[in-house]
Amino acid sequence: MAKLDFSPIADTTRRAEIVGLLRRAILTGRLEPGQKLNELRISEQMRVSRAPLREAMRELVQEGILTSIPYAGTFVINVTAKDIDDAYSLNKVLDEFAIERTWPLRDQRFFDELDRRHAAVKQATRDLDTTRQIETALQLHGLIHEWADNSVLLETWQRLTSRLQMYFALHQRARNEPVPAVDAHETYVRLLKGSDMRAAQRHAKDHIDLDFEELLAYARGLEQRGSKGAGADRAGRPKGG
């Protein structure tokens, strides 16, 4: 398990900064799937009281990347192949619907914002900033959900994004790359500016499928290692222990 050290933060820092530090630790793998959070150690390293830390952890529980188990503690969620299948299959449906709803509403403001978000992704990619690259990529993909003028769609997308952040990070670790290629979204952006809605929808689906199989294989590997570890633990545990 990777050594985990948090730098101290100022007393004036809001809960949002603690949330950001924890999220970055999860997305970069310093906090691994299934790992328990040691409140005392983290609060000492950040030099904050445990109350705002617990509030930040509760926020990440609501986002779905931490889970709280009564009498056991708070853990980074485990990632299973089914979790990934559930998220990616829903993502494909949401993207198709969002593009359909957004298509007639596109205007110059949409195209300008699309370019701005795309530039942010490319800058984070050039900086090799894994967490920022994932955040900006999801903001780029989120534009169609924001523009679709459907509050239920947007709420569903927002609930999905935290899990997608974690899965994107896992995928990049599976490929042993800090970030994807800098031109990964060029076709996506070009088609969203174009006149062929079906082509944009097909590409959005293909873009998701491109990552899916690799990530699924990685998740299955994690599950197998976890089951082997649990088996070894059971085998090595003394009777009655």
Read off the pLDDT of residues 150-160 as tens digits, 9 standing for 90 and up: 999 999 999 89
Q: What is the pTM of this model?
A: 0.78
Under the banding of pLDDT at 50, 70 and 90, the label for residue 235 is very low
The pLDDT value given to residue 227: 63
Residue-wise pLDDT for 24-77, tens only, equals: 888 888 898 889 999 999 999 998 889 999 999 999 998 888 999 999 999 998
Name the burial class of residue 49, with classes exposed (0-12), middle (13-18) and buried (19+) by CB atoms within 10 angstroms of its CB: exposed
| pLDDT of res. 75 | 96
Least confident of 54-68, 73-87, 118-132, 212-226: 212-226
pLDDT score, position 70: 93
Mean pLDDT of the chain: 87
Residue type at 200 in one-letter notation = A
Confidence band, pLDDT 50/70/90 cuts, at residue 2: low
Tokens of 131: 């967490």
> Does the pLDDT of residue 234 top 80, yes or no?
no
Phi-psi domain of 177 (left: phi exceeds 0; alpha: psi -120 through 50; beta: other): beta
Query: Nearest CA to 146 among 158, 157, 154?
Result: 154
User: With 90 as the cut, is the pLDDT of residue 123 above it?
Assistant: yes
Helix (H, G, I), strand (E, B) or coil at 132: helix
What was the pLDDT predicted at 9? Answer: 65
Share of the chain above pLDDT 70, in %: 89
C-alpha span between 23 and 65 (Å, rounded):
8
140 pLDDT higher than 90: yes
Examine the pLDDT at 98 and tell me if it is beyond 90: yes
Nearest C-alpha neighbor of 157 from the set 170, 171, 138: 138
Do 174 and 218 meet the contact criterion of CB atoms below 8 Å apart?
yes
SS3 164: helix
Chain region(s) in the chain for CATH 1.20.120.530:
81-224
Looking at the domain 81-224, which fold is it? Four Helix Bundle (Hemerythrin (Met), subunit A) (1.20.120)
In the chain, ranges of CATH 1.10.10.10 domains: 15-76
- Mean pLDDT to the nearest integer, 203-215: 87
pLDDT at 19 over 80: yes
Helical (H) or strand (E) element with 18: helix 15-27
Compute how many other C-beta atoms are within 10 angstroms of the C-beta atom of residue 190. Answer: 13
**Fold (CATH) for 15-76:** Arc Repressor Mutant, subunit A (1.10.10)
C-alpha span between 84 and 79 (Å, rounded): 7
Residue 226: predicted pLDDT: 63
